[in-house]
Chain A
Amino acid sequence: MLATKFKPDEPVVVVTPSSINTSLLPDADVMLITIDKDGRVFFSIDGQKKRQKLISDLDESYKLGLTEPQKTAFILGSSYGTDIKDLKRTLEMTPDEQKTQQKGIPLDSANNELGVWLEYGRTAQAAIEGNSNKLKYCIKADNQTPYPVIKKCSIPLKRRRSRS
């Protein structure tokens, strides 16, 4: 009991709609896209190894210049929803600041970073687990999330199996 750590806080409170479905959110091999009621989009993937791979890949390709403590913060953290270029600044914030200051992953057609996150998530899954076939894509959104945001999120998910 003394050795356990609490799950990292989700940056946003999301009240999900009730549903008749009984299948549970899987524990492993899952990428979770969280959308709050204002339409901010957050991304997370399970597994510390995968998160490590994902953040080092992102760091490398986008030249973010992340330090080791910042990477550790990402690995141990939960969902992040920010511009990739602002990731360094976000990882320096305290959890409370992260809750209020993250603006969500941009979804514009010109700059659809959710697709980037999904792509890196898949690469990380493939690198750690061998292949990315088992990976599930889940959308978790608030009751009051406007539908157009959901639609925009589902565009990078097309051709892939997704859960909501």
Chain B
Amino acid sequence: MAEMDTSSSGGKGKKHGGTKSKKLSTRVDMTPMVDLGFLLITFFMLTTTMAKPKTMDLIMPKDTENEEEKNKVKESTALTILLGKKNQVYYYEGLAQDPNASSNPDFFQATSFANKGGIRDVIIRKRDEVAQLRNAKGQPEDVVVMIKADDGAVYQNFVDILDEMAINRIQKYATVDITDQDKTWIQSTETANGIK
């Protein structure tokens, strides 16, 4: 396979020169190909890295009991996202501090993690809406997303929603404990949508 081929030069200057066509060897020199093969193997062997898990930063707030140190979120800039079971996402605008809010049937909405028509569109819409508002100093307001995960939610949902925050460049978001009121809403929506 990889020997030197010297036979092809033998035809010249022999007795039957001219009358008979030159006999060329059909053997191909494989040496360069093998060389290149080994070079590539070595190259890829040395440059590969094993698949490593990816990480994301998550900054947890300071655990404080002091009310003054806690940030207050305005009702108008808040978007609350709830994670339910079976990869369901629910959301409402504001913080639901007003007990009459739920009387509006459009208040509590269900959606999904779909790329189109899912929670991403909701976040973008709310973000752009809030950017129109001005705070006391006349600067644009930032949307604050409250993430509440129900007991039925799984880790994947949680990572997905944090991904959405990164994708949509939401600067302010917080994971908050779910309230009983939220749980009731999730339950009634699940019943209405037939999710068990």
Q: Residues of A at under 8 Å CB distance from B? A: 16-17, 19-26, 35, 138, 140-148, 150-151, 154, 157-164
Evaluate contact between A162 and B83: CB separation under 8 angstroms.
Answer: no
Q: Residues of B at under 8 Å CB distance from A? A: 52-63, 83, 149-160, 162-163, 166-167
The number of A-B residue pairs with CB atoms under 8 Å apart is 90
Query: Chain B contact residues: over half helix, strand or loop, or mixed?
Result: mixed
Please list 15 pairs of residues, one from A and one from B, whose beta carbons are closer than 8 Å in the complex, sorted by A's number. A20-B166, A23-B55, A23-B56, A25-B52, A26-B55, A140-B53, A144-B155, A146-B155, A147-B150, A159-B62, A159-B63, A162-B59, A163-B57, A164-B56, A164-B159
Bound Cα distance A146, B57 (Å):
20
The residue of chain B having its C-beta at the shortest distance from the C-beta of A30 within the complex is B55
Query: Chain A contact residues: over half helix, strand or loop, or mixed?
Result: loop
Evaluate contact between A164 and B58: CB separation under 8 angstroms.
Answer: yes
The residue of chain B having its C-beta at the shortest distance from the C-beta of A138 within the complex is B55
CB contacts (< 8 Å) of A20 on chain B: these are 163, 166-167
The residue of chain A having its C-beta at the shortest distance from the C-beta of B164 within the complex is A20
Q: A17-B160, A19-B163, A21-B166 are in contact. Are A146 and B63 (CB under 8 A)?
A: no
Most chain B beta-carbon contacts within 10 A, residue among A146, A147, A154, A159: A147
Evaluate contact between B160 and A24: CB separation under 8 angstroms.
Answer: no
- Nearest Cβ in chain A — how far from B130, in angstroms? 23
Bound Cα distance A147, B167 (Å):
22
- Nearest Cβ in chain B — how far from A26, in angstroms? 8
- Nearest Cβ in chain A — how far from B55, in angstroms? 4
CB contacts (< 8 Å) of B58 on chain A: these are 162-164
Evaluate contact between A161 and B52: CB separation under 8 angstroms.
Answer: no
Q: A147-B158, A148-B151, A164-B58 are in contact. Are A24 and B166 (CB under 8 A)?
A: no
Bound Cα distance A23, B159 (Å):
14
Evaluate contact between A23 and B54: CB separation under 8 angstroms.
Answer: yes
Given contacts A22-B54, A25-B54, A158-B61, 10 further A-B contacts (CB under 8 A): A19-B54, A20-B163, A23-B56, A26-B55, A144-B154, A144-B155, A146-B152, A146-B153, A159-B62, A164-B56
